[in-house]
Amino acid sequence: MKSVEVKAEQLSGRFSKFTQIHVAVAAIFGLVSLVLVNSQANHGLPMYLSVFMFFLTITLGGLFWVTIFHLTRSGWSVVVRRLFEHLMNRVGLMALLFIPIVLGLHGLYEWTHEAHVMHDHLLQVKAPYLNQPFFIVRSIVYFIVWFVLARGFFNDSTQQDINGDPLLTARSQKRSTYGILLYAITISFAGIDWIMTLTPHWYSTMFGVYIFAGAALSSLCMVSLLALFLRRNGFLSTVISVEHYHDLGKLIYGFVIFWAYIGFSQYFLIWYANIPEETMFYLSRNTAAWKAVSLMLVFGHFLVPFVLFMSRHMKRNRVIHACIAAWILLMHAIDMVWLVLPTFYPNGYMPTVLDIAIIIALAAAYGAAVWKGLDTVALFAHQDPRVDESMRFENV
């Protein structure tokens, strides 16, 4: 029997300075944003929501993959699972970052304007769902569900690092069954509440699935990038092998297609039936400056990675793998902007200094939290009962 040596790896403060820089940048740009919010006519909320959704989808994608790995008793993924767990564990930070959205509800959601609702029959009809107290209650419920699930998985996994108890795996597997149900409901309705109700007249049954597709894809890309970055710095290089990158690449490729499938189905059915109350969503995105962005998504988010990432060679080449993962993350960011901004600026938009400050602040805050998290526990689940299977696996 071939036996592999599993040695725990730890960052042990290697990136503490890096983390501190992240914190400092987040603090500075957070302050800059706060100052600029009041001094500029543009309040920056739409961009804030886009960037928030970008990081939220990555976080929830992490939760999805951890759940699905447990649900399917996946063996190959054990050595990369910890990285997904770190993304998933950012739910608390995202809840904190949600506060500005609650404070800015009025600036984002048309249905919060009572004067406006008075003259809009449809919004009056929808008032039982679209009202502020219910909206906030729902949002709190989503965060509680995510937090409880993520905490449960994370605690089990890190506790196993110490005692190697296989019953912890069994418990996580159990949690994953009802977890995936709660997850499906909450991510769908969070997507509907936070993004779809920006255009409160518009509706699409596919919307929740669209948000999910982006979440699953972006978290895979983020994990690939994280792992490759750690590898460059000498971590996990004997643990996460080219076979794991190959598998991550296959999943990225699959979800590039899944995203396109969902996006296309939604667009196509609305385009074909051509009913005004549905087409309005795409009308503002297919005219003026937004048309270029829509096309960029078609090509950049789907066609380019579809062609480039098809071959085995591309998935196994670390440099190309990293470039494509980064590219897809950029496209995912544009997708989130595309979902939010055209509603507010139908004629196109040029980011302001405030927007850029918001992007940097949120990215640095998220980065700091991820690096802090990585530093606190072992870099991979070295006591997982299936860790040998994962380290030994090969694509044949």
* Count of residues of this chain found to bind another protein when the rule CB under 8 A is applied: 54
Q: Figure out which of the listed residues 41, 137, 162, 273 binds another protein, where binding follows CB under 8 A.
A: 273
Under 8 Å between Cβ of 32 and 186: no
**What is the smallest separation between the CB atom of 372 and another protein, expressed in angstroms?**
28
Q: Which stretch binds another protein (CB under 8 A): 36-44, 73-81, 96-104, 333-341?
A: 73-81
CA angle at 91 for the pair 351 and 383, rounded to the nearest 5°: 130
Give whichever of 1 and 292 is closer to another protein, judged by the CB atom. 1
Of 231-260, binders to another protein (CB under 8 A) are 250, 257
Look up residue 176 and give its two tokens.
């994953």
Residue 172 CB burial class (10 angstroms; 0-12, 13-18, ≥19): buried
The 146-185 site mask, x for binding another protein (CB under 8 A), equals: ------------------xxxx-xx------x---x--xx
Distance, CA of 237 to CA of 229 (rounded, Å): 10
Is residue 387 a contact residue for another protein (CB under 8 A)?
Answer: yes
> Do 379 and 11 meet the contact criterion of CB atoms below 8 Å apart?
yes
Query: Which one of residues 25, 30, 129, 141 is an interface residue with another protein (CB under 8 A)?
Result: 129
- Stretch in the footprint of another protein (CB under 8 A) among 79-87, 94-102, 270-278, 325-333: 270-278
Alpha carbon 273 to its chain centroid, in Å, reads 31
Residue 388 makes contact with another protein by CB under 8 A: yes
* Helix (H/G/I), strand (E/B), else coil: 237: coil
- Closest contact distance (angstroms) between CB of 203 and another protein is 4
Residue 277 in contact with another protein, rule: CB under 8 A? yes
Among 43, 105, 110, 126, binds another protein (CB under 8 A): 126
Euclidean distance between CA atoms 237 and 380, whole angstroms = 12
Pick the closer one to another protein by CB: 102 or 122: 122
Q: What character string, x for contact with another protein (CB under 8 A) and - otherwise, covers 327-366? A: ----------------------------------------
Question: If binding is defined by CB under 8 A, does position 122 make contact with another protein?
Answer: yes
How many residues in total does the chain contain? 396
3-state secondary structure 32-60: HHHHHHHHCCCCCHHHHHHHHHHHHHHHH
Give the burial string for 278-293 (b: 16+ CB within 10 Å, else e): beebbebbbeeebeeb
Rounded Cα gap, residues 296 and 309, in angstroms: 18
Tell me the DSSP string of 179-201: HHHHHHHHHHHHHHHHTGGGSTT
Residues that bind another protein (CB under 8 A): 1-6, 73, 75-76, 122, 125-126, 129, 164-167, 169-170, 177, 181, 184-185, 188, 192, 203-209, 250, 257, 261-262, 265-266, 268-270, 272-273, 275, 277, 383-389, 392-393
